[in-house]
């Protein structure tokens, strides 16, 4: 059981870590000072949440790994984040749409996890939920502003939605470990979350005058460790210090 909880913690943490890294790339590159600070603050919240997951995973002791080992010393196929969060910061519309899709998923996920039978997972969820409410408010407002803004911002937002929507189905795929932990009341029921997510996304897109794509095609693989090419570049950045100077610390 501990091994399964360990795997689940890494999966939860990896989504936040990779998205947090993507947002951190915008530090000093945001379209305006305020959005720059907002996106990097969100990044910081996500990294803080990752630390809670990885510290707990390290404490379980199943793999004999420290928090830093887990974060920095795995190979690409060992990261189990969804493909959505590793997609690049193509333009501001992509950044916001990716964030919007993920924030609403994250919000419902954490709401479910506050009820987890695992006390520590429930505690992290309670803590993180308060922060993610602010994230989803930020990205939802920007969705409306961009979608219902100028002709150019509308067009770019629609393009980002069309491109990123096929990556959202994977958020709701249950791995065998998740299914088993959900039976035990520890993991979230992603099928139930999907309906709530879909409802919220549709409502907001309507306000933002954006059309939800009707295609059935979807990408997946990240949760099994099969990633897009982007993850390799992220890891070469993220792991540089630990690979170049093994076991270095502050």
The residues of the shown chain that bind another protein, judged by CB under 8 A, are 34-35, 37-38, 41-42, 44-49, 51-52, 119-120, 122-124, 126-128, 130-131, 134, 137-138
- Residues ≥6 apart with Cβ < 8 Å to 81: 11, 14, 15, 17, 18, 19, 222, 223, 231
How far apart are CB 92 and another protein at their closest, in Å? 15
Is 20 or 147 the residue whose CB approaches another protein more closely?
A: 20
For the beta carbon of residue 69, count every other beta carbon within 10 angstroms: 15
Is 15 or 168 the residue whose CB approaches another protein more closely?
A: 15
Please give the Cα distance from 147 to 203 (Å, whole number). 13
How far apart are CB 224 and another protein at their closest, in Å? 28
Is 11 or 128 the residue whose CB approaches another protein more closely?
A: 128
- The answer to whether 2 touches 172, Cβ cutoff 8 Å, is no
How far apart are CB 139 and another protein at their closest, in Å? 11
Is 48 or 166 the residue whose CB approaches another protein more closely?
A: 48
How far apart are CB 144 and another protein at their closest, in Å? 12
Nearest alpha carbon to residue 187 among 240, 99, 242, 125? 125
Please give the Cα distance from 149 to 209 (Å, whole number). 9
Provide the total of helices (H) and of strands (E) in the chain, helices listed first: 11, 0
Return the percent helix, strand and coil in the chain, to nearest 5.
70, 0, 30
Judged by DSSP in three states, 217 sits in coil
Is 114 or 220 the residue whose CB approaches another protein more closely?
A: 114
How far apart are CB 14 and another protein at their closest, in Å? 16
Is 52 or 227 the residue whose CB approaches another protein more closely?
A: 52
What is the 8-class DSSP label of residue 227? -
Please give the Cα distance from 166 to 161 (Å, whole number). 9
Please give the Cα distance from 245 to 241 (Å, whole number). 6
- The answer to whether 110 touches 125, Cβ cutoff 8 Å, is yes
Is 40 or 87 the residue whose CB approaches another protein more closely?
A: 40
How far apart are CB 52 and another protein at their closest, in Å? 6
What is the 8-class DSSP label of residue 117? S
How far apart are CB 20 and another protein at their closest, in Å? 8
């Amino acid at each position: 059981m501990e091994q399964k909880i360990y795997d689940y913690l890494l999966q939860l943490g990896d989504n936040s870590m990779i998205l947090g890294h993507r947002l951190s790339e915008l530090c000093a590159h945001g379209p305006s000072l305020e959005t720059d600070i907002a996106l990097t603050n969100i990044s910081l919240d996500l990294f803080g949440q990752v630390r809670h997951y990885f510290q707990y995973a390290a404490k379980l002791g199943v793999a004999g790994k420290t928090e830093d080992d887990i974060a920095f010393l795995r190979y690409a196929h060992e990261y189990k984040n969804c493909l959505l969060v590793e997609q690049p910061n193509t333009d501001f519309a992509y950044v916001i749409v990716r964030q919007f899709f993920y924030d609403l998923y994250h919000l419902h996920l954490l709401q479910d996890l506050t009820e987890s039978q695992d006390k520590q997972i429930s505690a992290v969820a309670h803590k993180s939920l308060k922060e993610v409410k602010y994230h989803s408010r930020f990205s939802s407002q920007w969705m409306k502003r961009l979608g219902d803004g100028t002709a150019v911002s509308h067009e770019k937002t629609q393009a980002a939605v069309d491109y990123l929507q096929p990556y959202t189905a994977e958020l709701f795929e249950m791995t065998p470990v998740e299914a088993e932990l959900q039976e035990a009341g520890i993991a979230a029921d992603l099928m139930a979350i999907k309906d709530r997510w879909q409802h919220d996304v549709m409502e907001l897109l309507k306000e933002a005058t954006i059309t939800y794509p009707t295609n059935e095609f979807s990408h997946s693989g990240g949760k099994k460790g099969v990633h897009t090419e982007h993850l390799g570049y992220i890891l070469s950045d993220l792991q540089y210090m630990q690979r170049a100077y093994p076991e270095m610390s502050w």
